[in-house]
């Protein structure tokens, strides 16, 4: 049956978007990828193992991950750089598109990978602390002693994805073997003053043409049989839809051209589906006035993750959130080749930026250690916290509602 | 589709409007030709490499016997044994069976806060099992995605396509051909999705495509034709106006439901607190027309491992003007790897 499916898929002109059984073992040899257990699609690491775990193992090849930027774009740019840095470490090709920062400077600021020994040091410290904890046996509540330790951050068991040190930038030697392409909108505009784009914002049209050219020239096209070694193209597009891209959806409630962005995403998804590539787009969702556009954009993307930072909000000083820097909303998980999607059972997620690491963790409230009776206010706060961090695709409407 | 439209959209709920014969002036010329998209796809994909040259024609023919008796036997077995033919429980709820598909029905699949695409897969495998000629306008996902799931449900889309039973429009791919294809489109027939690159949002090419692919040729003996759209909201994102989408659906109803005695199944997204007014307009107006509405909603109280959502089945008996009320049934469901189980509210494994 698998052979029949493979033959059939190849006969159709073979998108890369197919099961691993059909693609054969030659695809599995690409560095930095692994096949998904559930749907057999090749997965890439997003560069942040805890995010991979939330997204059902990683980003599937041929799909699009949309990151809704936080208010100041600070944390979303970290995720963006993690994605690119992981590509450098795995030896993938990169395509970086931006209208604000020059792609060269983005690439210069990629975080340095934590090598295994450094990682072990960090890990040893942690385990040392853990064992210390473990040694003093509990005087009271002793029956909880044998319970397994709760893992705060979701981790993957196998070696897939790397950790990065945000305090250092990646050394230029690592870049040497990497092939990368950049798309800097102001440069492109001056190079080719006229490009024929049909009923689409010209910046988006240029970007599509540029991606398509690279996919077909550099051999990422899944439909032609290639003799040389296959590789993955990682496409990163920064702040798509912002004013700098010449799109007015951020500055007006009734923009002139509301279809450019959605058309762009549709064509881009078509390109990704037939090539060995994966794309991460950050989008300033909070600036887009017309929420209908955001709904359509969400429907047209495969995976959507929203970041909500506490910077500038009252939650920055809220004691409930003192351990975290913001919330993560998983808005959409793709259903690939199966009826069900890999929904993780954790819905309340938060992120935290440590000195060197950025992690996504399960949101939990701190223990209530105060002597005074202030439970009521805490519960209110907790209630509001629950409302704010509702899960994927399901919004808590109110306390009154009871499904069963 | 402007003022000169032959069949006027009078009163949408007025069923006699559908009985008016629709003559589409240009569609006549196309009848009998191969639809354009199969041609362009053939060109875009050169001969498959040696490995892919083994077309699974014989394998599929063996596996999927098209003799009607055998087919009905198989279906009967699968209904009893729970083999993944389609969602047998849903068939029971809808009182439908692939042996006797209804005709002339418009079914609306509507999803809110969750993904209702499992219903599309159900109806696709249902109508292929029933031996209907199916035109599947798949705008959301790639062919291999649909094919792999269909295989889990026991039908093969590639085999159905080779038999001529299925006409598959892969939106993502034909959109690429349209966007990056050079002027070759000008010489041949227009792409079904040509409205994307034109300034006029006119779905006439898509309608022509549907009409040409579903008009029965003298040789084939499929049962009533079926149009399946996944999903209609994408057309709005690609620049079609709500009026153009509604016109498209209306034309399709006249041709498919009324003239050819077939069925239409359409998926739309909707959300009560959505600000997408165009989409809400389309959804509301389609709800008025539909003979059967399957409305899938995510649980309002949030995610649950054992209950994926709730389905509201509305049978629009009131459209038949017999003075009866619409029949509404509400169930909860859980999607499994190859099947979906339905149960009454409160009877899930999480509660019992």
* ipTM surpassing 0.85: no
Q: Let me know: does A358 contact A82? Beta carbons within 8 Å.
A: yes
Number of CB pairs < 8 Å for A and B?
203
**Host domain of residue B78:** 69-289
Q: Let me know: does A100 contact A238? Beta carbons within 8 Å.
A: yes
The more confidently predicted of residues B145 and A386 is B145
Does residue B115 fall inside a structural domain? Answer: yes
Interface test with A, best of B144, B309, B343 (most A CBs within 10 A): B144
Count of alpha carbons within 13 angstroms of residue B77, beta-carbon side: 8
Q: Let me know: does B171 contact A263? Beta carbons within 8 Å.
A: no
Does residue B200 fall inside a structural domain? Answer: yes
How far is B76 from B96, CA to CA, in rounded Å?
13
3-state secondary structure of B58: helix
Cβ-nearest to A270 among B156, B172, B233: B172
Cβ-nearest to B175 among A19, A212, A267: A267
Q: What is the mean pLDDT of residues A338-357?
A: 84
> Judging by DSSP bridges, how do beta strands A93-98 and A326-332 pair with one another?
unpaired
Put simply, the chain B residues between 25 and 44 with a CB less than 8 A from any chain A CB are: 41, 44
Count of alpha carbons within 13 angstroms of residue A231, beta-carbon side: 20
Q: Let me know: does B150 contact B156? Beta carbons within 8 Å.
A: yes
Strand partners, A184: A98
Going across the sheet that includes A303-309, the strands are A180-184, A93-98, A233-237, A277-283, A64-68, A303-309, A326-332, A349-353, A358-362
Q: pLDDT digit of tens for each residue in chain B (352 aa)?
A: 434 444 444 343 343 333 333 334 333 333 333 333 333 333 333 333 333 333 343 444 334 444 444 444 444 444 434 445 678 899 999 999 888 888 999 999 999 989 999 999 999 999 999 999 999 999 999 999 999 999 999 999 999 999 999 999 999 999 998 888 765 555 567 788 888 887 677 899 999 999 999 998 877 788 889 999 998 999 999 999 999 999 999 999 999 999 999 999 999 999 888 889 999 999 999 999 899 999 999 998 888 888 999 999 999 998 888 888 899 999 999 998 889 999 999 888 878 7
Contact B115 A393 (CB under 8 A): yes
Report pLDDT for B45. 38
Closest to A404 (Cα-Cα) out of B313, B347, B336: B347
Min Cα–Cα distance to chain B from A144, Å: 27
Q: At what angle do helices B117-129 and B143-152 cross, to 10 degrees?
A: 70
Residues whose CB falls within 8 Å of the CB of residue A391, separated by 6 or more in sequence, listed in order: A330, A347, A348, B302, B303
Contact A292 B276 (CB under 8 A): yes
Structure tokens at A94: 């990169």
pLDDT band at residue A323 under the 50/70/90 scheme? confident
Q: Let me know: does A94 contact A218? Beta carbons within 8 Å.
A: no
Counting the structural domains of chain B, the total is 1
How far is A373 from A353, CA to CA, in rounded Å?
32
Does residue B265 fall inside a structural domain? Answer: yes
Task: Give me the residue label for tokens 């083994």.
Answer: B54
How far is B59 from B66, CA to CA, in rounded Å?
13
Q: State which H helix or E strand residue B109 sits in.
A: strand B106-112
Cβ-nearest to A270 among B175, B299, B348: B175
Does residue B77 fall inside a structural domain? Answer: yes
User: CB atoms < 10 A from the CB of A90, how many?
Assistant: 21
Q: Let me know: does A206 contact A188? Beta carbons within 8 Å.
A: yes
How far is A97 from A295, CA to CA, in rounded Å?
24
The more confidently predicted of residues A65 and A123 is A65
DSSP conformation letters of B14-28:
-THHHHS----TTHH
Q: Let me know: does B331 contact B317? Beta carbons within 8 Å.
A: no
Put simply, the chain B residues between 206 and 245 with a CB less than 8 A from any chain A CB are: 233-234, 236-239
Cβ-nearest to B52 among A11, A402, A403: A11
> Judging by DSSP bridges, how do beta strands A277-283 and A233-237 pair with one another?
parallel
Q: Let me know: does B261 contact A365? Beta carbons within 8 Å.
A: no
Q: What is the mean pLDDT of residues A9-26?
A: 48
CB contacts of B280 in chain A (<8 Å) are: none
Cβ-nearest to A391 among B55, B300, B303: B303
Task: Give me the residue label for tokens 């040190």.
Answer: A165
Closest to B340 (Cα-Cα) out of B296, B303, B290: B296
> Judging by DSSP bridges, how do beta strands A277-283 and A64-68 pair with one another?
parallel
User: CB atoms < 10 A from the CB of B42, how many?
Assistant: 12
For B237, phi then psi, to 5°, come to -65, -30
Does residue B127 fall inside a structural domain? Answer: yes
Structure tokens at A381: 């706060």
Tens-place pLDDT, residues B117-175: 999 999 999 999 999 999 999 999 999 999 999 999 999 999 999 999 999 999 999 99
Tens-place pLDDT, residues A134-189: 555 667 777 776 666 555 555 443 457 888 999 999 988 888 888 999 999 988 88
How far is B60 from B76, CA to CA, in rounded Å?
20
Report pLDDT for B321. 85
Closest to B133 (Cα-Cα) out of B85, B166, B98, B170: B166
CB contacts of B55 in chain A (<8 Å) are: 7-8, 11
Q: Let me know: does B279 contact B273? Beta carbons within 8 Å.
A: no
3-state secondary structure of B333: strand
CB contacts of A13 in chain B (<8 Å) are: 41, 44-45, 48
Minimal Cα distance from B59: which residue of A? A4
Q: What angle do CA B315, B265, B305 make, to 5 degrees?
A: 75
How far is B165 from B64, CA to CA, in rounded Å?
13
> Judging by DSSP bridges, how do beta strands A277-283 and A111-113 pair with one another?
unpaired
Over 80: is that where the pLDDT of A3 sits? no
A254-258, A293-297, B32-36: range with lowest mean pLDDT: B32-36
How far is B247 from B231, CA to CA, in rounded Å?
16
- pTM of this prediction? 0.79
pLDDT band at residue A367 under the 50/70/90 scheme? confident
Average pLDDT over chain A, rounded to an integer:
79
Contact A270 B338 (CB under 8 A): no
Q: State which H helix or E strand residue A234 sits in.
A: strand A233-237
Closest to A363 (Cα-Cα) out of A377, A384, A342: A384
User: CB atoms < 10 A from the CB of A270, how many?
Assistant: 25
Put simply, the chain B residues between 64 and 123 with a CB less than 8 A from any chain A CB are: 113-115, 117-118, 121
Q: B172: domain CATH number? A: 3.40.50
Does residue B185 fall inside a structural domain? Answer: yes
A267-281, A333-347, B214-228: range with lowest mean pLDDT: A333-347
Residue A195 CB-density burial (10 A; 0-12 exposed, 13-18 middle, 19+ buried)? middle
Tens-place pLDDT, residues A180-203: 999 999 888 888 766 666 678 889
Strand partners, A111: A169
Q: At what angle do helices B204-214 and B242-252 cross, to 10 degrees?
A: 20
3-state secondary structure of B328: strand
Integer CA distances (angstroms), B304 to A13, A386, B214, B296, in order: 40, 15, 41, 15
Does residue B83 fall inside a structural domain? Answer: yes
How far is B252 from B142, CA to CA, in rounded Å?
23
Q: What is the mean pLDDT of residues A82-89?
A: 93
Report pLDDT for A312. 86
User: CB atoms < 10 A from the CB of A227, how many?
Assistant: 5
Residues whose CB falls within 8 Å of the CB of residue B218, separated by 6 or more in sequence, listed in order: none
Minimal Cα distance from A270: which residue of B? B172
Structure tokens at A260: 């450019």
Contact A401 B301 (CB under 8 A): yes
Does residue B236 fall inside a structural domain? Answer: yes
């Amino acid at each position: 049956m698998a052979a029949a499916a493979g033959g059939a898929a190849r006969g159709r002109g073979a998108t890369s978007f197919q099961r691993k059984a059909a693609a054969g073992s030659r695809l599995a040899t690409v560095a930095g990828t692994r096949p998904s257990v559930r749907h057999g699609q090749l997965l890439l690491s997003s560069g942040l193992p805890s995010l991979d775990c939330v997204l059902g193992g990683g980003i599937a090849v041929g799909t699009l991950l949309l990151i809704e930027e936080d208010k100041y774009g600070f944390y979303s740019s970290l995720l963006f750089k993690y994605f690119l840095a992981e590509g450098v470490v795995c030896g993938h090709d990169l395509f970086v598109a931006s209208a604000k920062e020059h792609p060269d400077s983005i690439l210069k600021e990629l975080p340095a990978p934590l090598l295994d020994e450094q990682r072990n040091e960090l890990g040893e410290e942690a385990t040392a602390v853990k064992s210390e904890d473990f040694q003093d046996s509990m005087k009271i509540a002793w029956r909880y002693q044998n319970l397994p330790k709760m893992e705060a951050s979701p981790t993957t068991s196998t070696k897939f994805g790397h950790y990065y040190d945000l305090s250092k930038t990646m050394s230029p030697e690592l870049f040497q073997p990497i092939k990368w392409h950049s798309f800097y909108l102001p440069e492109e505009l001056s190079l080719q003053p006229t490009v024929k784009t049909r009923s689409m914002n010209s910046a988006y049209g240029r970007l599509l043409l540029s991606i398509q050219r690279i996919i077909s020239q550099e051999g990422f096209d899944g439909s032609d049989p290639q003799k040389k070694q296959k590789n993955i193209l990682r496409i990163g597009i920064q702040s798509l839809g912002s004013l700098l891209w010449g799109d007015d959806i951020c500055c007006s409630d009734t923009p002139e051209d509301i279809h450019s962005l959605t058309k762009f995403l549709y064509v881009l998804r078509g390109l990704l589906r037939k090539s060995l590539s994966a794309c991460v787009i950050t989008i300033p969702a909070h600036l887009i006035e017309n929420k209908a556009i955001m709904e359509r954009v969400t429907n047209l993307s495969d995976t959507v993750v929203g970041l909500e930072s506490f910077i500038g909000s009252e939650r920055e000083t809220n004691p409930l959130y003192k351990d975290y820097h913001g919330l993560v909303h998983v808005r959409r998980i793709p259903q690939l080749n199966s009826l069900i999607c890999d929904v993780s059972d954790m819905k309340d997620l938060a992120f935290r930026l440590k000195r060197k690491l950025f992690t996504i963790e399960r949101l939990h409230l701190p223990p209530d250690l105060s002597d005074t009776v202030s439970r009521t206010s805490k519960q209110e706060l907790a209630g509001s916290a629950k409302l704010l961090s509702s899960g994927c695709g399901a919004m808590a409407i109110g306390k009154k509602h009871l499904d069963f | 589709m402007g003022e000169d439209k032959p069949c006027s959209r009078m009163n949408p709920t007025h069923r006699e409007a559908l009985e008016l014969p629709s003559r589409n002036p240009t569609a006549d010329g196309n009848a009998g030709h191969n639809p354009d998209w199969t041609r362009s796809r053939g060109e875009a994909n050169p001969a498959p490499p040696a490995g892919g040259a083994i077309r699974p024609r014989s394998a599929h023919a063996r596996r999927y016997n098209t003799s009607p008796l055998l087919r009905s036997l198989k279906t009967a077995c699968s209904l009893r044994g729970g083999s993944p033919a389609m969602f047998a429980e849903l068939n029971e709820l809808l009182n439908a069976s692939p042996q006797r598909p209804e005709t002339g029905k418009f079914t609306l699949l509507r999803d809110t806060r969750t993904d209702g695409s499992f219903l599309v897969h159900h109806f696709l495998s249902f109508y292929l099992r029933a031996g209907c000629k199916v035109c599947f306008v798949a705008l959301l996902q790639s062919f291999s995605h649909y094919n792999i799931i269909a295989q889990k449900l026991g039908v093969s889309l590639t085999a159905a396509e080779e038999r001529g039973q299925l006409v598959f429009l892969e939106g993502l791919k034909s959109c690429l051909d349209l966007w990056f294809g050079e002027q070759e489109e000008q010489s041949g027939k227009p792409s079904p999705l040509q409205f994307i690159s034109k300034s006029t949002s006119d779905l006439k090419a898509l309608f022509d495509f549907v009409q040409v692919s579903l008009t029965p040729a003298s040789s084939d003996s499929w049962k009533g034709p079926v149009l399946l759209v996944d999903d209609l909201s994408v057309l709005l994102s690609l620049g079609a106006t709500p009026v153009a989408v509604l016109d498209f659906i209306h034309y399709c109803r006249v041709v498919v439901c009324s003239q050819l005695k077939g069925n239409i199944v359409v998926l739309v997204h909707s959300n009560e607190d959505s600000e997408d007014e165009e989409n809400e307009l389309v959804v509301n107006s389609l709800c008025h027309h539909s003979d059967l509405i399957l409305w899938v909603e995510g649980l309002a109280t949030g995610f649950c491992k054992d209950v994926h959502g709730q389905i509201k089945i509305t049978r629009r008996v009131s459209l038949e003007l017999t003075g009866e009320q619409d029949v509404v049934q509400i169930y909860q469901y859980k999607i499994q790897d190859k099947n979906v189980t339905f149960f009454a509210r409160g009877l899930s494994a999480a509660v019992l």
